[in-house]
């Protein structure tokens, strides 16, 4: 059983990342697997986004390894990791603002449906791409905005589109970097709902500041402070961990 699990896990092994003198990631060991939400919490500047960058291949680690389904992918670039089932969203939404929502999504669907080294057939003739794009829009609640330029979307809708882009590759592992930042109450509720559905069939590493959302979604929580994981465990255990309360939750509640 343990062997099978490690076959489909995203693992960080002694990951370190230095920016000059700043150790943004220090000896991080982390394991994301199966289904459900593994939450990563930590104060501003703790190195959460840096860790996502290391895991997704956006940044090379200073030392340590990233394993994806048992393979060392530390030297595999971002597209290579996507091909192996890893995908991510962005804290600062990263979309194609000049394109319609539909075209945004069709591009991302195109990535998982055969080669894109096709030079002659007009892409707009590929009904299947646009149909699947529409399905993803439906899933995240953007159906009514399919024909809008992405630059016309509200902040919340952009967050939804960002998540939808990452979903289109149908990843086994999804890294979500603060998908709820800046959302209104109603939008947050919908996003929590979406994350729950997403995590029903894949492993999600969720970075989030909203503790209610974290504790309602996660089956495991890791706490990152100054680049180090200071605690990892069930939501209950983390809530009651005195060190966590001192280093993080205490601050947060005081603020």
Partner 1 sequence: MKRLLPFLLLALGLALPFILTAMGQEYYISFASRVLVVALAASALNLILGYGGLVSFGHAAYFGAGAYTAALLAGKGAGLPAQLLVGTGVAALLAFVFGWAALRTRGVYFIMITLALAQMLYYLAVSSDSLGGEDGLRISRAALWGDLTLGDDRAMYYTALTALTLGLFVIWRVVHSRFGEVVQAARDNETRTAALGYPVRRYQLVNFVIGGALAGLAGVLMTQISGFTNPSLLSWQQSGQFMMMVILGGVGTFWAGLLGTAVLLGLEEYLGEVTERWPLFVGLILLGVMLFAPKGLGSLGTLFGRKKKEVVE
Q: Report if residue 94 touches Mg ion, rule: CB under 5 A.
A: no
The SS3 assignment for 35 reads: coil
Stretch that binds ligand ATP, among 7-15, 17-25, 142-150, 159-167 (CB under 6 A): 17-25
What binding mask, one character per residue, do residues 36-65 give for ligand ATP by CB under 6 A, x or -? ------x-xxxxxxx---------------
| Nearest-approach distance from CB 101 to Mg ion, in angstroms | 25
Nearer to Mg ion, 136 or 218 (CB): 218
46 vs 59, beta carbon nearer partner 1: 59
Give, to the nearest 10 degrees, the angle between helix 185-199 and helix 127-140.
120
Q: Give the sheet arrangement for strand 173-177, strand by strand.
A: 86-88, 173-177, 203-207, 36-41, 218-225, 228-233
For 36-93, strand residue ranges (E) read 36-41, 63-68, 71-72, 86-88
Query: Residues 103-142 vs partner 1: string with x where CB under 8 A?
Result: x--xxx-xxx--xxxxxxxxxx-x----------------
244/182 Cα distance (integer angstroms) = 25
As given in the structure block, the two tokens for residue 246 are: 């001192």
- Whichever of 83 and 189 has its CB closer to partner 1, that residue is 83
Question: Treating both helix axes as pointing N-terminal to C-terminal, what angle do 101-110 and 155-167 enclose, rounded to 10 degrees?
Answer: 20
Q: Write down the least CB distance from residue 77 to ligand ATP, Å.
A: 17
Q: Binds 3, which of ligand ATP, partner 1, Mg ion, none (CB < 5 to 8 A, cut-off by type)?
A: none
Q: Is 20 in the site for partner 1 (CB under 8 A)?
A: no
CA dist 73 → 18, 52, 69, 116, 132 (Å): 19, 14, 9, 23, 29
Residue 6 is a binding residue for partner 1 (CB under 8 A):
no
**Interacting residues toward partner 1 by CB under 8 A:** 56, 58, 77-80, 82-83, 87-88, 90, 94-99, 103, 106-108, 110-112, 115-124, 126, 165-166, 168-169
């Amino acid at each position: 059983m343990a062997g099978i699990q490690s076959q489909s896990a995203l693992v960080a092994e002694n990951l370190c990342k230095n920016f000059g003198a700043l150790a943004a990631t220090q000896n991080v060991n982390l394991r994301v697997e199966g289904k459900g939400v593994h939450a990563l919490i930590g104060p501003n500047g703790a190195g959460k986004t840096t860790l996502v960058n290391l895991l997704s291949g956006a940044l090379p680690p200073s030392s340590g390894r990233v394993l994806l389904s048992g393979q060392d992918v530390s030297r595999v670039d971002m597209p290579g990791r996507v091909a192996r089932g890893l995908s991510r969203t962005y804290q600062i939404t990263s979309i194609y603002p000049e394109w319609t929502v539909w075209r945004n999504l069709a591009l991302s669907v195109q990535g998982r449906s055969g080669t894109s080294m096709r030079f002659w057939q007009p892409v707009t003739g590929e009904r299947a791409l646009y149909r699947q794009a529409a399905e993803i829009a439906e899933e995240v609640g953007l159906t009514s905005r399919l024909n809008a330029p992405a630059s016309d979307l509200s902040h919340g809708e952009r967050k939804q589109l960002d998540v939808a882009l990452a979903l289109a590759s149908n990843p086994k592992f999804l890294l979500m970097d603060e998908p709820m930042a800046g959302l209104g109450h109603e939008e947050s509720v919908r996003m929590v709902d979406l994350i729950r559905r997403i995590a029903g069939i894949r492993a999600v590493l969720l970075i989030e500041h909203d503790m209610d959302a974290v504790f309602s979604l996660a089956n495991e929580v890791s706490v990152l402070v100054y680049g180090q994981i200071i605690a990892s465990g069930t939501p209950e255990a983390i809530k009651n961990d005195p060190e966590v309360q001192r280093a993080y939750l205490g601050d947060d509640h005081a603020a």
